[in-house]
Every structure is written in C-alpha cells, then in structure tokens.
Structure 1
Amino acid sequence: MLRLLLLIVLLAASSSASAIVIRDDVDDSRYRIPESDFPALVDMLGEGHGVLIAPQWVITAAHVLPQHAETWQVVIDGTPRNVERVVVHPGYKTMPRELIDQAMASGEAMLVAVFLASTDDIALVKLAQSVTDVAPFAIYKDNDEPSQIVKIVGKGATGTGAIGHDPRGPNRTELRRAFNKITSAYDRWFCYVFDEPPSALPLEGILGNGDSGGPVLIQIEDQWLLAGLASWKVVQGHVMTARPGRYGQITCNVRLSHYVKWIESVISGQPQAGANNSFKPNPLRGSA
C-alpha cells in the first residue's frame, strides 16, 4: 500500500511499515535490546510481526498476512515454524483500490481514515506444531487502557521524531523497544501520540513501517501483558510527501480487550456466529 495523507497503514510484505522511531535527543543505543529479551516476537513473511499467545497460535494484524503466497512460514526465536492454518476475523476488509487511487490523486485521505476505523484488522495463525521452547504472552483483558504506559517492540525501519524515517526503508533492523502513553481507547482501537521533548517520556517512541502486527504491552505488577497490535497511524501532510514517524503523529493499535471472546473461540475450536475467513497455506519444504 501507499503512504496516505492522514494515515499510513503499517503494512508488512506489500509496503514499508516503521520500527521504533525514537526521540532525537536520546542515543539509539538506549532503545536497542537483544532479541533474547522478546523471544515471543514473531517475524512474518516479508515484513511485519505477530506475537505467540499459545503454544500453537500466533496473533497478528490481518493486513500483515501474505496476499498471494500459498507456502509460507513464520520465524519465532530464530527458528522457522510451519503454518497450518490462518483465521482472519470476519469483520476484516481489504482496502478498495479506488480509495487509494483517490487519495493519490487528491493528496487527501479522509475516506481512508473512515475505512480503516471500520475494519477488524486482526488474524490468528495456527502453527503446524506447538512451540515448546518459547513462553507465550497472555492477553490484557481489561478495558481501562487510557492513560496506561505501554511498551512497544519492533525491529523494522527507524529514525527520530525530529525528521521521521525514510518511507522507503530498510524495514528490518535491530530490535528496539520504546514507551508511550495511551491517550484514547474505543471499540476496536486504542491510540497514542508521539510527544516532543521535553514533555515526552524518557524513552518515548512510536511504531511505524515494518512493524505491523507487533506488540503493545501493558505491565501488571511484574508481568507484561499483550494489550494491542500495531495497525495504522495518522500522518499530517500530502499523500506523496508526508514523512512518517515525526513528533505529533498518532498511532492506532488493534485493541485486544475488544476481541477476547473471538480469540478464545477460535483457539478453542468453537467459533462464534459469523463465518471466519480461514485458509490453509502449504508449509515450506525443509522447515523446522
């Protein structure tokens, strides 16, 4: 997909989407973490992330899924894992090409914003075999996300809030984590703003291109719980010239507390009313 006036859909595989964009007055080394700090982070095919939430299940943003690949894997803790089945939320809708063309022609993308806010950008990936060497993340089920401090994790493109990041990538780099404060939550989404220093958190950051489906975490006592998945962001400026990752931009994330019943029904094998969009990609040969 293409960069849009108000919104950049944080795509994987089909476009660039950004890793952690950081404060311009804090050294990048303070944001970097070893991959061993987050083994449950899932690398999707091409770009984008997911999170292991059960021994045989990965959760991700629906738009991250490969559109044309019939054979694919995911990588968890450095090991390729075969995919048995994918279940897309029945409320997920792919963006019409007409909307993209209108935004490109006019430089304005308000209808894209309306469309994105109306879709359920969430999917579950069932692995062919259970993961026994990595602990899954539990989901945050409360609906009190506003004002919570969240941790965001990703390893796509990077930059600083002063200038943003290059929308052309690269979109896989070192693993980074940053923090932000949720400003709003409603229905499918919760959002946060990339504040400019000195009002920003000490390690404030924002997700961007290459990290769609990546985790947004809330800490309860000594445990980090999975509260959201990176999905899209608001970017001021013209469709063709807006630069993602600058101070003041807003990221909106899939709000998992809204989808708990659906997630549990799919994993338990007792789906709710309404057909799920399920398909079975063929595993790659020679995989782990």
Structure 2
Amino acid sequence: MLVRAVTLALLLTMSGLAGAIVVRHDVDDARYRVPATEFPALVDMPGEGHGVLIAPQWIVTAAHTLPVHSVLDQVTLNGQQRKVQRVVVHPGYKTLPQSLIDPAMATGEAMLIVVFLAGIDDIALIQLVEPVTDVAPARLYDGSDEVAKLAKLLGKGATGNGADGHDPKGPNRTELRRAYNRVTSAYDRWFCYVFDEPPAGEPLEGTLGNGDSGGPVLIEQHGEWRLAGQGAWKVVQGNVVTARPGRYGQVTCNVRLSYYRDWMEQVMSGPQPRLSSDPI
C-alpha cells in the first residue's frame, strides 16, 4: 500500500503498497531519520502505506493503499486512532487485473503493467467521523509547475540504499525518514523523478520504497513545504520477478494533486451522505 513499482508491480500490486525511504549508500542513514514532528499531518494506513490530512475531517491517499478485502474503519494520526466515516475513491481508479500479473510473473516482463498504472486515477479521499483538532492540515501546492522543483519525501516504509536496493520481502513499516529529489517530468496525473547515483543528485537524495505509497511529496512554495503529490509506483528495470527495487537509476512516479484539485474540492464541499442513524 505505497509506492507501486513495476518490478514490484507484482509484489506491490499484490500487497497494494509501496514502501519507505531508500537512501544514498554513501550517507549515514541517521541523517535521513526524522521525528514525527517533521510532518504531523502524516497518516498511517493499517499495516503500511500513508495518507495526508488536508482538512480537519479529510485525508487524501493513493487509492491502492486501501484495504482490498476489508472495510477501512480507522487510521492513525499523531499517535491516535481516528474513526473513518466514509471513503471516496476516484471513479477512474482500477485495481490491477490478474490477467496482467500472471504473464509478468511467468516472463519477468511487465511493460503492460506500466501502461495500466499510468492510465488510472490512483487517488482517494477519506472522511473522518470527527474533525481533527490537534494537528494542522497540510496545505496543498497550488501550482502546476513541478518540473525541476526540489521535492521533499517522507515515509516509514521499507528502506535500503541505492547501491543494493531494498529487500521486497522485508518490513514495510520502519522509522520515519526524509529525503529529497528533483522532479524530472510532470504530465496529467503524474510527476516523476529519478534516483540519481552519487555524485549526481541531492546531498540527501532518496526515493520511496515499499510501504511509502500515499506518502507526502512536498514542494516549497511561499516559504513553506506544501503537499504536491503522493507516492504511487516505480519503474524497475529488468526482470520484475528478480530485480531489486530502490536502486539508482529507477524512476518513481507520484500522484499529481494539482491535476485532481477540482475533484477533491467537489467531494469535500459536496452534500454529506445520510448516515444509517439519521432520521428519515
């Protein structure tokens, strides 16, 4: 339930997640670790994956972080369980069909999975039962000029380093880490970046790992870091069954929230559904 990758298209799409922060091999991991106060609006989905509080009663996440075989009834924010009233999934979201997974598992070639992931609307809104009063919502980036901008990434998913990648079967919920990268492309639903090998890249260059899906991708605007995207999927070169995600050169694509601004506003400002306990 975090960054869905292409070589991970199998593991990611089967688990529904994409993970924590993968770091440079030549920088001490301790420099990437940060306390929860770094980004209080971070939401932990059940098991793994993230969302972000964007209004007192609303959370935005990547749709593939949602439980597949159960109802989402609570999430964790600021160390507290918050009850969920309803989940609104974008009508353009589709789950990865088994008919694409099976051939990729058999052959190691997953280009059609990449095409599928690029064509869906991987976003959902979660409405809480009670408004949050102890955490300030994250402000949304209101531009659409993400290319070449420095992005800050946060997540608690799987970790490793760019030389070795991370173990796709390792834990997908670890400590909170922060890294940076620079946006290389942006179009319609997605903006993407490349995990550059040193000496190229940022001093704290990094990329998302399994379990980081839905995690915040922030861009600085008007003197503050604002929410521009959320971790979604990754393109991993080579055989998707044997390749290791999180190595240098891999591309990570993120849900581009500027593309969905009107849809989010429409959902959050629209009429509220009648609860079963409401009088008729």
Q: TM-score range by the shorter chain?
A: over 0.9
- Residue 248 of structure 1, CA deviation: 0.3
The answer as to 2:175 corresponding to 1:174 is: yes
Paired residues, what number?
A: 272
**Separation of aligned partners in 2, 1:36 and 1:9:** 34
**Separation of aligned partners in 2, 1:94 and 1:103:** 16
Q: State the identity %.
A: 66
Q: For 1:131-210, list aligned pairs within 5 A.
A: 131-210=132-211
- Residue 8 of structure 1, CA deviation: 3.6
**Counterpart amino acid of residue 112 in structure 2:** L
Q: Which residue of 2 aligns with 1:284?
A: none
Give every structure 1 segment of 4 or more consecutive aligned residues whose post-TM-superposition deviation is greater than 3 Å.
3-13
**Separation of aligned partners in 2, 1:16 and 1:124:** 17
- Residues 154 and 118 of structure 1: is their aligned pair in 2 closer, same or farther, counting only changes over 3 Å? same
Per mean C-alpha deviation after superposition, the further-off stretch among 144-153 and 168-177 is 168-177
**Counterpart amino acid of residue 191 in structure 2:** F
- Residue 222 of structure 1, CA deviation: 2.2
Q: TM-score, normalised by structure 1?
A: 0.90
Q: Which residue of 1 aligns with 2:239?
A: 238
Q: TM-score, normalised by structure 2?
A: 0.92
**Separation of aligned partners in 2, 1:63 and 1:4:** 12
Deviations 1:110-168 (A, max 9, x none): 11111001000000000000000000011112110000000000011100000000101
- Residues 149 and 9 of structure 1: is their aligned pair in 2 closer, same or farther, counting only changes over 3 Å? farther
**Counterpart amino acid of residue 215 in structure 1:** P
Q: Which residue of 1 aligns with 2:266?
A: 265
**Separation of aligned partners in 1, 2:13 and 2:171:** 12
**Separation of aligned partners in 2, 1:9 and 1:199:** 30
Q: Which residue of 2 aligns with 1:35?
A: 36
The answer as to 2:96 corresponding to 1:95 is: yes
> Can you give the 5+ residue segments of structure 1 that lack an aligned partner in the other structure?
272-277, 281-288
Say whether the 8 Å CA contact 1:10–1:232 is kept in structure 2.
Answer: no
Q: Which residue of 2 aligns with 1:74?
A: 75
Q: Which residue of 2 aligns with 1:125?
A: 126
**Separation of aligned partners in 2, 1:181 and 1:164:** 19
- Residues 10 and 53 of structure 1: is their aligned pair in 2 closer, same or farther, counting only changes over 3 Å? farther
> Can you give the 5+ residue segments of structure 2 that lack an aligned partner in the other structure?
276-280
* Helix, strand or coil at the partner of 2:100: helix
RMSD: 2.0
**Separation of aligned partners in 1, 2:16 and 2:68:** 12
**Separation of aligned partners in 1, 2:226 and 2:6:** 33
**Separation of aligned partners in 1, 2:144 and 2:37:** 30
- Residue 10 of structure 1, CA deviation: 8.4
Say whether the 8 Å CA contact 1:12–1:211 is kept in structure 2.
Answer: no
